[in-house]
Amino acid sequence: MHLTLAPLHGFTGSTFRNVWFRHFTGLDDAMAPFISLTHGNRITPLKVRELLPSLNKGIRLIPQILGNEADDFILLCRYLYDELGYEEVNWNLGCPIRDIVSKKRGSGLLPYPELIDQVLEKVIPSISARLSVKLRLGYRSCAEFPAVIEVLNKYPLSGITVHPRIGTQLYAGEVLLDEFEGFLPLIHHPVVYNGDIHSYEGFLRIRDRFPSINSYMLGRGVFFNPFLPEMIRNGIAELPAGAYDRFKAFYFDLEEAEKQRRRYWISKMKEYWKYFAVYLNTDEKSLNQLLRCTSETEWNKIVDQLLP
């Protein structure tokens, strides 16, 4: 079994990755949130900062690329391989954000299999790194998926990660498991399942329904329960011994790392708390009090009450 941390933009950057891997186990690797293609022949240090090996020591990281221009794609892949040592990169065909979709990037490429084909035809023979793809079942309709898979099957990809929603769903609504099940035989590459594995029981439902799949990508579930990968790996439905103390150590390590990283660290921690509150069963009143907090003194007081 292979478990990968999903690329959640704004959440699973180098700060979170390093702290999580210090305190928890179960994940084999992490996919970095996407970087967009650079126009021109120069890769700026800021663009690849989050991917620097020095900021990801001990973590097997897979960079993810967003874009649709073959020449720029090749340039970035070569930089990631030659300069940073990444042997695999991932192409994002799943992002559903409107501004991205409108430029035929992310899931906005899925209605255009001929464009996907044109990019891959030029990119695959021109890069040394392995290429994988992460995609949805379509942008407007699942009817788009077979034509896309027919294109992807033509190329020696290292794997395909499927999030069984369409782009217009964004991250809401049910995952489309019936449709995914029907499409699964069409895919000739190793498949990674990604989508709404938020609990151990949820993982078992996916595992038992799709026994041919042995690789999974975990996203929001890792925030709802940071022990989830460990529980899946060990086949145990209960939290491990000492879970509360381990979570506290993780949380305060993360908070300190965010303080060192950014001036407005409380705003970032509020985003995390919307997930951590689920794990801690934090009542709505206390969570809202925390989310309205504006001073560090008040913040520390409330957090100490929530994590005694």
**Strand locations in the chain, DSSP E?**
2-5, 29-31, 35-36, 61-62, 64-66, 88-93, 130-136, 160-163, 191-194, 215-218
User: Using CA atoms, how far apart are residues 104 and 138, in angstroms rounded to an integer?
Assistant: 13
pLDDT one-digit tens code per residue, 187-213 = 999 999 999 999 999 999 999 999 999
What is the pLDDT confidence band of residue 92, given thresholds at 50, 70 and 90? very high
Whether pTM > 0.75 for this model: the answer is yes
Which residues have CB under 8 Å from 16's CB, separation 6+? 254
Whether residue 116 is predicted with pLDDT greater than 80 in this model: the reply is yes
pLDDT one-digit tens code per residue, 165-183 = 999 999 999 999 999 999 9
Instruction: Supply the pLDDT for residue 132.
Output: 98
Mean pLDDT for the stretch of residues 152-164: 98
User: Cα angle vertex 115, ends 114, 118, to 5°?
Assistant: 90
Structure tokens of 150?
Answer: 């027919």
**3-class secondary structure, 61:** strand
Centre a 10 Å sphere on the Cβ of residue 251 and count the other Cβ atoms it contains.
22
Whether residue 38 is predicted with pLDDT greater than 80 in this model: the reply is no
The H-or-E segment that residue 150 falls in is helix 145-152
Instruction: Supply the pLDDT for residue 45.
Output: 85
The distance from CA 68 to its chain's CA centroid, rounded to whole angstroms, is 20
What is the pLDDT confidence band of residue 39, given thresholds at 50, 70 and 90? confident
